Structure 1
Amino acid sequence: MYMAVNELAGKRLLVIRSSRDQDKFLNMSKAAGIDVKHVPIIDINPISNDARVRQKIQLLNEFDYAIFVSVHAGKIALELLDESWPKPPEALRVFTIGRQTAALLRPYISSVRYPESNADTEGLLELPEFQNPKNKNVIIFRGGHGRETLRDELISRGARVEYCDLYQRVVNQQQVEKAWEQLHNIDYLVAHSGELMRAMGPVAKITRFIRDNKFSVIVPSQRVAEIAHQLGYSSIIVSDNALPESMYEALQKGI
């Protein structure tokens, strides 16, 4: 049984992922009376003017499956799709990693598939359409330099896969230092990805900022938990996935 909202009030939370419209996790936390500090440490820099990006958008009808890995990818892609494809190609099947990205895309294409219980790459790969994607042409809309698991696994299953990199994720060192300065005065650090954990750096490097404070790290998967552990974080709470409700539930369990 989870703690009542008033027992969450006053807890101190540091969230470090990039800003997004209508961040449900932040809104839920604030509504519970939690002292939320949001310090985005990775900048999202669109590269939608790149000629290669526009060329791939124009050739969208040559693909069987389109996968959007993030809200940022969906948002940037929609602007380009409106120019080249006011209506999506009829045969195109669209997939997302998470529910929020699916909701963003639905005004453009009504049928969007996503893993409902396991909102990550592994969950997407469990969908029936990806069990035997032999000879399917797949385009993955993403930010550059992410995990290669999705591409590699689809290729191993017989698909032909291309990337369309719509943005770059760049660590903002000034913001990282601002986040470090909060570490002595928080109860929880929320890191939605391994990339965010690595950007924060190893505990040994930031001990002077932590001082004697004891805080827990909330992460969306066992994979990210392992990264946090390798970096020296000892108190780690693992959510079922990165969905806002699941991350909030993990926060409740940890109090």
Structure 2
Amino acid sequence: MSVLVVRPEPQASSLSQALRAAGHQTVTSPLLSFVEGAELDRLPELLGSLTADDYVIAVSVPAVNFTHNALLEMGLAWPQAHYIAVGEATGNAFAAVGVMGAAVPDDPRSEGIIALPGLDSLVGRRVVILRGNGGRHMIAPTLTNRGANVDYCEVYRRQYSADPQGELVKSWQSQDVDSIIITSGGLLSHIVQLATTNAKDWLLSRLLIVPSIRVVEEAEALGFTQIINAEGASNQALIAALDERKPNDRQD
């Protein structure tokens, strides 16, 4: 039996290698890639006017990386401000580009961000939310109601792989995939859309490893019944969650 890895590269290859080292058989099928977002040219305007009392929120690792690369090309630096990362991986991405001490909520959902200390009263503060094309719609209205001036900035776009004939799902079935690691709600929705009517029951019966309670809730709404919350998107957290359910499913 095999573990299906669908996260984008280079994370897909890294996770698959770590899974094989831990004794699991894998099927690697990246379904998502990232390209530059439509609003990168707004970064000088949005970040350049921030003060040390203002906030920058990054909703993902690509949000940090695309912003950093754009700033380098523009000859600009990250501003002095308060930084918030939605999860541990995004916090590590901030640290990797020299932004230290980003706040990381225990709950990676939008609810966790808006519950962070210091965000209860934001009168006169500016908040820039670095994100992809869409998502995280709760944050801006909530922070605006608390007095903040909030701007979203689309710094990257998601591109999902198409498979109109359903050949990908057939190949997963033929390779005895019994579990799937899903690291975002977008990937979760896309993988369900790829399944034809005949394959949907098979897909929904797979064991699902997800990184957060937010994706658990989305998986339950879609009809998945076997779901493990790894409580993190790192290779270590995902593999530990898988091993907890499948201790005997290893290669010889």
- Normalising by the smaller structure, the TM-score range is 0.7 to 0.9
Pair 79,203 (structure 1): closer, same or farther in 2 beyond 3 Å: closer
Contact 1:39–1:175 (CA under 8 A) maintained in structure 2:
no
Local SS of the residue matching 1:169: strand
**Compared with structure 1, are the counterparts of its residues 123 and 76 closer, same or farther at alpha carbon in structure 2 (3 Å cutoff)?**
same
Match of 2:161 in 1: 172
CA distance in structure 1 between the partners assigned to 2:14 and 2:112 by the alignment: 21
8 Å contact kept, 1:225–1:236: yes
Q: Given that residues 228 and 241 in structure 2 are in contact (C-alpha distance below 8 angstroms), is that contact kept between their aligned partners in structure 1?
A: yes
Matched residues in 2 for 1:93 and 1:176: separation? 47
Letter in 2 for 1:237: I
Alignment match, 1:87: 77
Partner of 2:117: 128
Q: Could you tell me how far 1:253 is from its partner in structure 2?
A: 1.9
Q: Quick one: structure 1 residues 180 and 204, their matched pair in 2 at CA, closer, same or farther if it must change by over 3 Å?
A: closer
Q: State whether structure 2 residue 238 is matched by structure 1 residue 251.
A: no
Question: Once the 2 structures are TM-superposed, how far is the Cα of residue 182 of structure 1 from its aligned partner?
Answer: 4.0
Q: Within 5 Å, which residues of 2 pair with 1:21-170?
A: 25-47=15-37, 50=38, 52-63=39-50, 64-89=54-79, 91-115=80-104, 117-170=106-159
Q: Distance in 2 between matches of 1:167 and 1:189?
A: 25
For 1:112, give the aligned amino acid.
G
* Among 1, 5, 22, the residue aligned to 1:15: 5
Write the deviation string for residues 193-217 of structure 1: whole angstroms up to 9, x where unpaired.
2221211126983534776995311
Q: Distance in 2 between matches of 1:126 and 1:23?
A: 35
CA contact (8 A) 1:39 1:178 kept: no
Q: Distance in 2 between matches of 1:96 and 1:246?
A: 18
Structure 2 CA distance for partners of 1:113 and 1:236, relative to 1, 3 Å:
same
- 1:82 is displaced (CA, Å) by 1.6
Partner of 1:135: helix, strand, or coil?
Answer: coil
Separation (CA, whole Å) in 2 of partners of 1:22 and 1:183: 16
Secondary structure at the residue paired with 2:155? strand
**What is the letter of the counterpart of residue 220 of structure 1?**
P
TM-score (norm 2): 0.80
Aligned position for 1:8: none
Picking from 211, 222, 237, the partner of 1:231 is 222
Query: Is the 1:120–1:241 Cα contact (8 Å) retained in structure 2?
Result: no
8 Å CA contact retained: 1:219, 1:225: yes
Quickly say closer, same or farther: Cα 1:55–1:203, change in 2 above 3 A: closer
Cα drift, residue 162 of structure 1: 0.6
Distance 1:201 1:105 in 2: 32
Q: Structure 1 vs Structure 2: percent identity of aligned residues? A: 25
Q: Secondary structure at the match of 1:18?
A: coil
Q: Which runs of 5+ in 2 are unaligned?
A: 247-252
Question: What is the aligned-residue RMSD (CA, Å)?
Answer: 3.1
Give me the TM-score of the superposition, normalised by structure 1.
0.79
Q: Secondary structure at the match of 2:118?
A: helix
Alpha-carbon distance in 2 for matches of 1:214, 1:207: 13
Aligned to 2:213: 222
Contact 2:169–2:199 (CA under 8 A) maintained in structure 1: no
Unaligned runs of 5+ in 1: 1-10
